[in-house]
């Protein structure tokens, strides 16, 4: 079982620091500075299952557009562990006796932060949201549920002696983001503890705190959001983490910064083109590599990471030729060609159904070129502030000052008339898989918009030079397309 020494929190007192320092693993992080790992957490970090996170890029394929975005889920997980520890330490410092926070709770929160992403698949969310639904009809697989299984697997495989109740609590904290306010939250003591790492109640959690800062820095983007302000001033009221009313705009900045990252990085038009190509390559390779056979077995799943693309690209097997050619096209920057996009009109959002290649192909006009579904790729991108068309700040409770005994919600209109009145965008992008078909695909896409909305919803015309792209053959003999 866990000893008191294992569970000691560094820097809880001067005596504790001097006594425990020799047991701590010191890591220098480029976001948080010095991170210290206690012996029990090192037992998890020093496993092949956790070290696998080094081979999962945090931003999937975004590094193909943002070269600095090569950070991994390994350092992100260490960052969430550290921030989870700071958050629970702050709450315990000011309200520990009142809330009955025990060392057991502190340990559970920190371990949940460390292990929250241990069940992630390759290429960020592309694996579970784009690839799996295509090869497993109706797939409900999620990395959160896989993280639960991986935690059990690590504990069993490496004989880590943990209290079963502690293990249960850690897993519940990892999956708590699946519970939304409209759901009936499970009846638990100290429910606020489950909102620190993965907050399904209102979306404010240390997971977001870390990846927003880390991703912005890696991509060379500015980030004005400062989580320390929120963490230092949060207060638990009625079993819920609440925030000072004066921090309303800071919280709003958290959600808008996340939305900006989605628009400019995570769903960048060229990033999505590469993702579509990778998904096509994986779908074609799956019957031979049996990728999906490992997704429910932790003993096999931990061996699956981003290196699967290298496996396909370096293979000489004829059955992998189509997949290999797609990956080589990515390396040679011969990408699916972005044709155009439109933002779904606000009055259509409620009833919107994802646009498919079939929708585009069925909208083509009479021409000398007949498009097939396999010539077209479509990306339906949703960008919101975490609650779809709802304002996420309506789910957050505030307090006036530290002497206050009441919590309350705040309406946007009481803060500023410059805040948005709408909270969701859906952007439909269409791509041609062959450069010579850009004009035909673009025209069919315009026809689809006329048929659906009675007008073209796109802002810009497809440039004529893009419509008439030709392959260029260089002296190397490699055939590429000029897409820059």
pLDDT category at 20 given cuts 50, 70, 90 is low
Same-domain check for residues 223 and 354 = no
Choosing from 247, 268, 289, the residue where a domain stops is 268
Same-domain check for residues 104 and 225 = yes
pLDDT of residue 186: 63
Q: Which residues contact 168 (CB under 8 A, 6 or more apart)?
A: none
Same-domain check for residues 75 and 214 = yes
Is residue 468 annotated as part of the catalytic site, yes or no? no
- Statement: residue 4 has pLDDT above 80: no
Residue 303 falls within a domain, yes or no? no
pLDDT category at 222 given cuts 50, 70, 90 is confident
- Statement: residue 41 has pLDDT above 90: yes
Over residues 193-222, mean pLDDT = 96
Residue 296 falls within a domain, yes or no? no
Residue 282 falls within a domain, yes or no? no
- Statement: residue 410 has pLDDT above 50: yes
Residue 284 falls within a domain, yes or no? no
pLDDT of residue 184: 53
What does pLDDT average to over the chain?
90
pLDDT of residue 239: 95
Same-domain check for residues 261 and 381 = no
Same-domain check for residues 13 and 100 = yes
Choosing from 268, 301, 326, the residue where a domain stops is 268
Domain range enclosing 364: 336-385+423-484
pLDDT of residue 188: 80
Residue 150 falls within a domain, yes or no? yes
SS in 3 state form for the chain? CCCHHHHCCCCCCHHHHHHHHHHCEEEEECCCEEEEECHHHHHHHCCHHHHHHHHCECCCCHHHCCCCCCCEHHHHHHHHHHHHHHHHHHHHHHHHHHHCCCHHHHHHHHHHHHHCCCCCCCCCCHHHHHHHHHHCCCCCCCHHHHHHHHHHHHHHHCCCCCCHHHHHHHHHHHHHHHCCCCCCCCCCCCHHHHHCCCCCCCCCCHHHHHHHHHHHHHCCCCCCCCHHHHHHHCEEECCEEEEEHHHHHHHHHHHHHHHHHHHHHHCCHHHHHHHHHHHHHHHHHHHHHCHHHHCCCHHHHCCCCCCHHHHHHCCCCHHHHHHHHHHHHHHCCCCCEEEEEEECCHHHCCCCCCCCHHHHHCCCCCCCCCCCHHHEEEEEEEEECCCCCCCHHHHCCEECCCCCCCCECCCHHHCCCCCCCCCEEEEEEEEECCHHHHHHHHHHHHHHHHHHHCCCCCCCCCCHHHHCCCEEECCCCCEEECCC
Same-domain check for residues 130 and 253 = yes
Residue 290 falls within a domain, yes or no? no
Over residues 21-47, mean pLDDT = 94
pLDDT of residue 21: 76
Q: For residues 478 and 484, what is the distance between their CA atoms, to the nearest angstrom?
A: 17
Same-domain check for residues 46 and 189 = yes
The total of structural domains in the chain comes to 2
Q: Which residue has the higher pLDDT, 328 or 365?
A: 328
Give tens-digit pLDDT for 443-456: 999 999 999 999 99
pLDDT category at 338 given cuts 50, 70, 90 is very high
Residue 220 falls within a domain, yes or no? yes
**CATH number of the CATH domain containing 376:** 3.30.70.2760
- Statement: residue 3 has pLDDT above 80: no
Give tens-digit pLDDT for 188-199: 889 999 999 999
Q: Which candidate in 32, 143, 153, 268 is catalytic?
A: 143
Residue 302 falls within a domain, yes or no? no
pLDDT of residue 185: 56
Same-domain check for residues 226 and 365 = no
């Amino acid at each position: 079982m866990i000893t008191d020494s294992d569970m000691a929190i560094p820097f809880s007192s001067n005596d504790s620091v001097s006594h425990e320092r020799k047991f701590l693993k010191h890591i220098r992080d480029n976001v948080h500075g010095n991170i210290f790992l206690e012996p029990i957490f090192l037992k998890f970090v020093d496993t092949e299952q956790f070290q696998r996170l080094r081979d999962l890029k945090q931003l999937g394929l975004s590094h193909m557009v943002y070269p600095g975005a090569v950070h991994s889920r390994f350092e992100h997980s260490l960052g969430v562990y550290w921030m989870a520890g700071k958050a629970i330490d702050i709450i315990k410092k000011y309200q520990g006796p009142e809330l009955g926070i025990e060392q057991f709770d502190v340990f559970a929160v920190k371990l949940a932060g460390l292990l929250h992403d241990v069940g992630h698949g390759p290429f960020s969310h592309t694996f579970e949201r784009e690839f799996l639904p295509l090869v497993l009809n109706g797939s409900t697989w999620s990395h959160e549920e896989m993280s639960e299984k991986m935690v059990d697997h690590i504990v069993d495989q490496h004989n880590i002696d943990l209290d079963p109740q502690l293990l249960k609590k850690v897993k519940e904290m990892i999956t708590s983001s699946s519970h939304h306010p409209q759901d009936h939250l499970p009846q638990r003591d100290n429910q606020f503890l489950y909102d620190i790492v993965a907050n399904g109640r209102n979306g404010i959690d240390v997971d977001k705190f870390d990846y927003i800062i880390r991703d912005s820095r890696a991509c060379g983007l500015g980030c004005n959001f400062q989580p320390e302000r929120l963490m230092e001033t949060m207060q638990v009221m009625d079993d819920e983490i609440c925030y000072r009313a004066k921090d309303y705009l800071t919280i709003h900045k958290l959600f808008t910064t996340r939305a900006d990252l989605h628009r400019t990085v995570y769903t960048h038009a060229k990033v999505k083109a590469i993702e579509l190509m990778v998904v096509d390559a994986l779908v074609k390779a799956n019957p031979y590599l049996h990728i999906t056979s490992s997704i429910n077995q932790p003993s096999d799943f931990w061996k699956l990471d981003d290196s699967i693309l290298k496996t396909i690209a370096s293979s000489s097997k004829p059955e992998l030729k189509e997949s290999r050619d797609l990956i080589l096209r990515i390396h040679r920057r011969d990408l699916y060609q972005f044709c155009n996009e439109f933002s779904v009109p606000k009055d259509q959002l409620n009833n919107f159904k994802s646009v498919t290649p079939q929708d585009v192909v069925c909208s083509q006009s009479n021409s000398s070129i007949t498009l097939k579904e396999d010539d077209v790729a479509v990306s339906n991108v949703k960008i919101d502030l975490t609650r779809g068309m709802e304002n996420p700040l309506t789910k957050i409770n505030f307090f006036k000052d530290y002497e206050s005994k009441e919590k309350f919600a705040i309406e946007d209109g009481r803060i500023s008339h410059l805040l948005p009145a709408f909270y969701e965008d859906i952007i439909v992008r269409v791509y041609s898989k062959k450069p010579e078909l850009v004009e035909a695909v673009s025209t069919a896409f315009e026809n689809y918009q006329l048929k659906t909305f009675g007008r073209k919803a796109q802002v810009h015309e497809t440039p004529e030079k893009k419509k008439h792209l030709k392959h260029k053959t260089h002296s190397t003999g490699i055939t590429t397309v000029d897409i820059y």
